[in-house]
Amino acid sequence: MIHPDRRAFVWLALVVVGTLLGVWALLGNLPEPVVRNRFVVVPNGWAFLLGAFVLLIGGTAAAAYTYGLAKRPGRAAAYALTAGTHMFIWGVILTTFYPVLYLVAVSFNRNDTLASTLPREGHLLVRAGVIPNPAEISLAQYQKVLSQTHILPFQWVLVGLLVLAVVGIVGLKLAERLAHLPAYRADAWTRLLGIGIFVLAAITVVSITPAQFYGITDAGVRVPPSSERTILLYIRNTLLVSGMTGIFAVLIATTAGYAFARMRFEGRYGTLLSFVFVQMFPGFMALVAIFWLMVRLDLLNTFTGLILAYSGGAIAFSAWIFKGYLESVSPALEESAMVDGATRWGAFWRIILPVSTPMLLFIFLLQFIGTYSEFILANTLLQGQEMWTVGMGLRNFTSGRFDTQWGALTASAVLGSIPILLIFYSFQDALTSQQTAGGVKG
């Protein structure tokens, strides 16, 4: 009689081979593709695809089950469930990522417009146009959208330092994990580098000016840039506006949040209520009123005007979040300081502010990310092309012309996403947990 372990492994091998054979048979025997309505169609392809996917999940689960029988028979079902889950999750990840990967792939493709006819050669997926032709990889799109950007030498140095700082942080994380660098040391350095990145990025953003964007004709004459080729300026504008809005909101909202959390005074509840409810008014429907206000303040078509227009909602939101945070901080610290003779303001300034720096940074980031994606107020208040934000710049691609310039659009979209992507993943845990904690405003 065969040992139960061995028998299970035989089964395991059979399941694995069977699954692979089945998937291979399904995908290898796809019907001949036909062309219908100018699309490449594999007749009943969905059945083959679904079959392969189900077979893959089932096969993996069955393999894990047999493996579990051999290892820990009591947990075999859990093994099967977990292995099946892995396959399913990978299916979901693939589906979620497909548009993103496609976007990045198109941005690195030479073809400017995908409306052109489908390629006749290559893999089935290339012929169907669901992946860009890998034979045409190039940086042409990036060269195109950056061709009228002229970066000065000292800005290259700033960018170089920025990259170094980012590499440094990644290196620290690796050192902490691999070389067992003490956590407190790594944290101290990370904080230092983080501040460095913030300052460098701020200097870089402020130092870029619209004057650095121009085209040069064959005769060597400078001409105004084309609106499709100044994505870097749009990113700079958006970063400037978002950053200033975030800083401004934190500055103004901190004291208000503190008063709401720690002081009890006549009219507190009413003020708090109005803070919460006023931001529920569809803000941009006050556009004409805001426009009217900005014309009278001479702030139309200025970043200051746009930042002030954002400030109302940003301040109310930040004050509310900061109040919630302070309520979770014990008042004992300030109270003891005040017993020792500190004033209210002294306690706030020397104790509360230092303690809540991470929270203030977090409020800033939330505001920053939110402002980055605002469209309609910016679209109304900013008028000159050199004032456009990223959203307006992209809109120019999708609705400005009859023929959408896909290549340039995707390259711009990739470039415009990078700042927020970096920030989001750097502060992933803080950002996701706070937003889903079910505050007043998602």
Residue list 363-402, contact with another protein (CB under 8 A): 369, 372-376, 390-391, 394-395, 397-399
One residue of 9, 11, 198, 284 binding another protein per CB under 8 A: 284
Q: Does 114 bind another protein (CB under 8 A)?
A: yes
User: 158 or 365: whose CB is closer to another protein?
Assistant: 365
User: 299 or 361: whose CB is closer to another protein?
Assistant: 299
Phi, psi at residue 403, to the nearest 5°?
-100, 110
Which among 415, 310, 420 has a CA at the least distance from the CA of 371? 310
Size of the site for another protein (CB under 8 A): 122
From the CB of 280, what's the least distance to another protein, in Å?
A: 5
Phi, psi at residue 213, to the nearest 5°?
-115, 110
35 bridge partner residues: 40
- What single string gives the DSSP state of each residue in 112-157? S-TTSPPPSSS-HHHHTTSS--GGGB-SHHHHHHHTTB---HHHHH
Q: Does 285 bind another protein (CB under 8 A)?
A: yes
Q: Are 331 and 365 in contact (CB under 8 A)?
A: no
One residue of 42, 164, 247, 361 binding another protein per CB under 8 A: 42
> Which are the contacts of 268, defined by CB distance < 8 A and separation ≥ 6?
259, 260
Give CA 366 to chain center in angstroms: 12
Point out which span in 20-28, 178-186, 356-364, 422-430 binds another protein (CB under 8 A): 422-430
Structure-block tokens of residue 80: 């099967």
Q: Does 435 bind another protein (CB under 8 A)?
A: yes
From the CB of 157, what's the least distance to another protein, in Å?
A: 28
Q: How many whole angstroms separate alpha carbon 143 and alpha carbon 149?
A: 10
One residue of 76, 169, 315, 382 binding another protein per CB under 8 A: 315
Residue type, 350: R
From the CB of 382, what's the least distance to another protein, in Å?
A: 14
From the CB of 194, what's the least distance to another protein, in Å?
A: 18
One residue of 151, 181, 272, 338 binding another protein per CB under 8 A: 272
Structure-block tokens of residue 55: 């077979």
Q: Measured between alpha carbons, how far is residue 228 from residues 103, 130, 143, 410 in Å?
A: 18, 26, 12, 12
Q: Does 432 bind another protein (CB under 8 A)?
A: yes
Which among 371, 326, 328, 361 has a CA at the least distance from the CA of 431? 361
User: 44 or 138: whose CB is closer to another protein?
Assistant: 44
User: 356 or 410: whose CB is closer to another protein?
Assistant: 410
Residue 348: in which H helix or E strand, if any? none
Within positions 170 to 229, which residues make up the interface with another protein, using CB under 8 A?
A: none
From the CB of 38, what's the least distance to another protein, in Å?
A: 8
Burial degree of 440 (CB within 10 A; 0-12, 13-18, 19+)? middle
Q: Does 293 bind another protein (CB under 8 A)?
A: yes
From the CB of 57, what's the least distance to another protein, in Å?
A: 12
User: 65 or 158: whose CB is closer to another protein?
Assistant: 65
User: 64 or 158: whose CB is closer to another protein?
Assistant: 64
Binding track, positions 87-106, relative to another protein; x by CB under 8 A: -xx--xx--xxxxx-xx---
40 bridge partner residues: 35
Q: Does 81 bind another protein (CB under 8 A)?
A: yes
Q: How many whole angstroms separate alpha carbon 26 and alpha carbon 161?
A: 52
Which among 118, 138, 120 has a CA at the least distance from the CA of 129? 118
Q: How many whole angstroms separate alpha carbon 143 and alpha carbon 139?
A: 6
Within positions 115 to 154, which residues make up the interface with another protein, using CB under 8 A?
A: 115, 125, 128-130
Q: Which residue has the tokens 């790594």?
A: 186
Point out which span in 203-211, 219-227, 333-341, 403-411 binds another protein (CB under 8 A): 403-411
Q: Are 391 and 378 in contact (CB under 8 A)?
A: yes
User: 4 or 439: whose CB is closer to another protein?
Assistant: 439
One residue of 78, 199, 223, 333 binding another protein per CB under 8 A: 78
Q: Does 38 bind another protein (CB under 8 A)?
A: yes
